[in-house]
Amino acid sequence: MSQAPTMPASPPTVEAPEAKSPPTLRDGAQVTLDKAVAALLDLQHADGHWCAELEGDSILQSEYVLMKWIMGNENDPRLPAIVDQLRSQQRPDGGWGQYPGGELGGGKFDLSATVKAYLCLKLHGDDPEADHMRKARELVLAHGGAERVNSFSKFYLAALGQVSWKANPSIPPEIVYLPKWFYFHLDKVSAWSRTMITPLSIVTTYRPVRDIPKDKGIDEMYVSQRDRHRLIGGVDGHEQHPFWSRFFLVADKFLKVIDKFGMTPWRKRALQRIEDWIVKHTEDSDGPGAIFPPIVYLLIALQCRGYKGDHPLMKAHEQYLVDYMIDAQDENGDTRTRLQPCFSPVWDTGIAAYALAEAGLPKDHPAIRKCVHWLLEKECRFAGDWQNNIDHNRFPNLEPAGWFFEYRNKFYPDVDDTVMVAMALKRLGEPGSAAHEAAERGVRWVFAMQNPDHGWAAFDRDACDRPIMEYIPFADHNAIQDPSCADITGRTLECLGHMGFNVSHPAVQRAIEFNINKQEPEGPWFGRWGVNYIYGTWQAVCGLRLVGQDMDAEWVQRAGQWLKSVQRTDGSFGESADSYEDRSLMGQGPPTASQTAWGAMAMLAIFGPEDPDVQRAIRWLIDTQLSQDDDETGDKAGSWREDWFTGTGFPKVFYLRYHLYRLYFPIMAIGRWLNAK
């Protein structure tokens, strides 16, 4: 009898593993934030501050080289590496631009930059018939010739005998004697213009010419030999006025006639007074204004006044320029040297500190303690040029306070740095602490700096709203004034919100009204100090909630809808500086971490943390964070790669790449979003 088959034994019971939920956006954001904070802390200097490279364009290299030739120092061993850097910045079309990049925002061709670069290369032996030189020359000739460069380039050309000094605008040193009620006055121009105009008034008076061999010159770059040797209107990038532009050209001819027949009886005293002003403005400062152009002009001007190269003032200012230099190896192992326009330590440290506060770093963290101490040591307690325009009836006995941008620049603290640092100190200090007291001093100073139009500018009060000045021939850098702008006004409101002020305060009310009037029809704001409408919109709206503004107001919502309209499908934001030239490019350009962070923070302020577009922007920052070091750019794991220029010096003229923007702004955005959650 057959036996029934035996059934196999049942397998042992195994419990299924508990299913793991995918990481939430919040979890991913926290991990990203932790990595980014670690990367930022790793970049902190031992004394507590941050200072990353501040990258500019080719004119920093070319103007340094030309200065050395003008002063007879063309054998400086640093020059070949600087010229190599300049050569590497030439674009495929043969020209030099205002900032590097590709097809989505590479910066327009810059006539003045190209002429200066071409002259530098020719001085250093490049064959004018070489392909790269021929292409540059053809491009310049197609754009009207070297006679159409701006006045700040013609000064170099005249000092090297390439144009007549008659082609340069007169800057008579007697301007120091103009009364305060006069339309033009040194107190009524921007701080950076003030520090450039004063040494250039000496240079245009002495009219130095360094003879160079004819074959080193650029005769071949001119279309009109007549225009080459006379002052003309319509130079590169300078807007013309049908009356005032012509008026100033006629006035310049009159000034040149006065010079020809013996100048004025006040010339000698005026030159000495200008020299004294320049020397005074170097005290406890890394040069007048602590920025590249005035330092270069100062060296040439003081040489005109008889200062020798071994004079302590000359040696110090030459060293400031050397300190701006950064050496790097190219693909062949050769050294290239690039120059920065200045240092940005207070700016970098203030923003980094504020970002770390948003990230939740505790006040007693060693990095925070060192950072706060460093910022307190940089408080500016000196009454600089700004005091000349303060309404002393409304603000009697105003206590000097505030912060400047660079390491040392005591004459020029600025509103933007002051409110940035004050916000950080308010967040990171204890009530009644030195940090809070300094922040409160800074805010009292900022109130006194509010312009008559109720906005805030950078360095001065009431150095704006004089449009006729824009047509002066030496104003062709498009920044002779320091206007109120929506971005600084918005950041100031953000600071005031942290300090406990709200919409009931008259100054806050007036500032909000100023920004409402500055809003573009489409909804955004122009960005004076960052690229461009994304930056301006971020700054304009982020303080509104803190001061109690109704975020459902139509004008605020319109700004938010504009941001959503320019957000890319992957959640990112990007805008090239080309939008300064063409409004149709508002909010358009390659995506960047800094601009995505700005867009995210602005939308967060308007729509809140649950808004899907806010979350898409945060997701993009999470997904694009570097997981390992980037050997090509030097960026560290935890940061982001950002090749584009998102900072602004002079709109339409000069742009900047702050190398820490791609790190501390994403930290600020992600930290702020997590806090809002």
Q: Report the pLDDT averaged over residues 629-645.
A: 88
Tell me the average pLDDT across 451-466: 94
Looking at the structure, do residues 268 and 375 belong to the same domain, yes or no?
A: no
pLDDT of residue 21: 56
Rg over alpha carbons for the chain, rounded to the nearest Å, is 28
- Lowest mean pLDDT segment, chosen from 97-111, 197-211, 537-551, 659-673: 97-111
**pLDDT at residue 5 above 70?**
no
Q: Is the pLDDT of residue 557 over 60?
A: yes
Residue 562 structure tokens = 């504009």
Dihedral Cα 515, 516, 519, 523, nearest 10 deg: 130
Q: Which residue has the tokens 């004034």?
A: 481
Query: Which parts of 219-291 fold into alpha helices (H)?
Result: 225-228, 244-260, 267-280
Q: Are residues 278 and 292 in the same domain?
A: yes
**Measured on CA atoms in the order 673, 674, 676, 677, is the torsion positive or negative?**
positive
Inside any domain, residue 37:
no
Q: Please give the model's pTM, rounded to 2 decimal places.
A: 0.93
pLDDT > 80? residue 513:
yes
Please indicate, yes or no, whether residues 283 and 385 belong to a single structural domain of this protein. no
Buried b (16+ CB within 10 A) or exposed e, 380-418: bebebbbebbbeeeeeeebebbbbbbbbbbbbbbbbbbb
Last residue in a domain, options 339, 358, 379: 339
Given this model, what pLDDT does residue 669 score? 98
| Residues 312 and 352 both lie in one domain | no
Query: Based on the domain organization, do 406 and 312 belong to the same domain?
Result: no
Q: Across residues 381-406, what is the average pLDDT?
A: 95
The CATH number linked to 202 is 1.50.10.20
- Identify the pLDDT of residue 378: 98
Instruction: Provide the pLDDT for residue 22.
Output: 62
Nearest residue to 485 (alpha-carbon basis) of 449, 525, 448, 445: 525
Token pair of 358, please? 């948003």
In a domain, 669, yes or no: yes
Q: Are residues 117 and 69 in the same domain?
A: yes
pLDDT level of residue 356 (50, 70, 90 thresholds) = very high
Q: Could you read off the pLDDT of 169-216 as tens digits, one per residue? A: 988 999 999 999 998 999 999 999 999 999 999 999 999 999 999 999
Quick: pLDDT tens for 321-355. 999 999 998 888 889 999 999 999 999 999 999 99
3-state secondary structure 370-439: HHHHHHHHCCCCCCCHHHHHCCCCCCCCCCCCCECCCCCECCCCEHHHHHHHHHHHHHHCCCCCHHHHHH
* Residue 251 domain flag: yes
Greater model confidence, 82 or 104: 82
- Number of structural domains the chain divides into: 3
Among residues 311, 339, 367, which one ends one of the domains? Answer: 339
What is the sign, positive or negative, of the torsion defined by CA atoms of 60, 66, 72, 78? positive
Lowest mean pLDDT, pick from 39-53, 127-141, 321-335: 321-335
**pLDDT of 632 strictly over 90:** no
Domain that holds residue 380: 344-465+480-518
* Per-residue pLDDT, 259: 79
In a domain, 553, yes or no: no
Looking at the fold, whether 374 and 285 belong to one and the same domain comes out as no
In a domain, 640, yes or no: yes
pLDDT of residue 293: 94
482 in Cβ contact with 457 (< 8 Å): yes
232 within some domain: yes
Q: What is the mean pLDDT of residues 218-231?
A: 92
pLDDT in tens, 568-620: 999 999 999 999 999 999 999 999 999 999 999 999 999 999 999 999 999 99
Looking at the predicted structure, is the pLDDT value of residue 646 above 70? yes
- What is the overall mean pLDDT for the chain? 92
Least confident residue range of 233-242, 460-469, 502-511? 233-242
Per-residue confidence at 301, pLDDT binned at 50, 70, 90? very high
* Judgement on whether residues 262 and 361 belong to the same structural domain of the protein: no
- Specify the pLDDT at position 534: 98
The per-residue pLDDT for 20 is 53
Residues belonging to the active site: 416
Q: Token pair for residue 75?
A: 């054998």
pLDDT at 237: 62
150-161 pLDDT, tens digit each: 988 999 999 999
- CB-based contacts of 591, cutoff 8 Å, min separation 6: 568, 570, 572, 573, 574, 620
Q: Indicate whether 299 and 353 sit together in one domain.
A: no
Average of pLDDT values for 407-434?
96
Whether residue 667 is contained in a domain is answered as yes
Q: How far apart are the first and last CA of the chain?
A: 76
Do 164 and 89 lie in a common domain?
yes
The tens digit of pLDDT for each residue in 235-276 reads: 666 677 787 778 877 877 888 888 777 677 888 999 999 999
pLDDT surpasses 50 at 511: yes
For residue 3, the model assigns a pLDDT of 37
Residue where a domain terminates, one of 288, 318, 339: 339
pLDDT at 614: 98
Q: What is the pLDDT of residue 9?
A: 39
Are 242 and 183 found together in one domain? yes
Q: Cβ distance 156 to 63 under 8 Å?
A: yes
- Does residue 14 lie within any of the structural domains? no
Whether residues 389 and 422 fall in one domain: yes
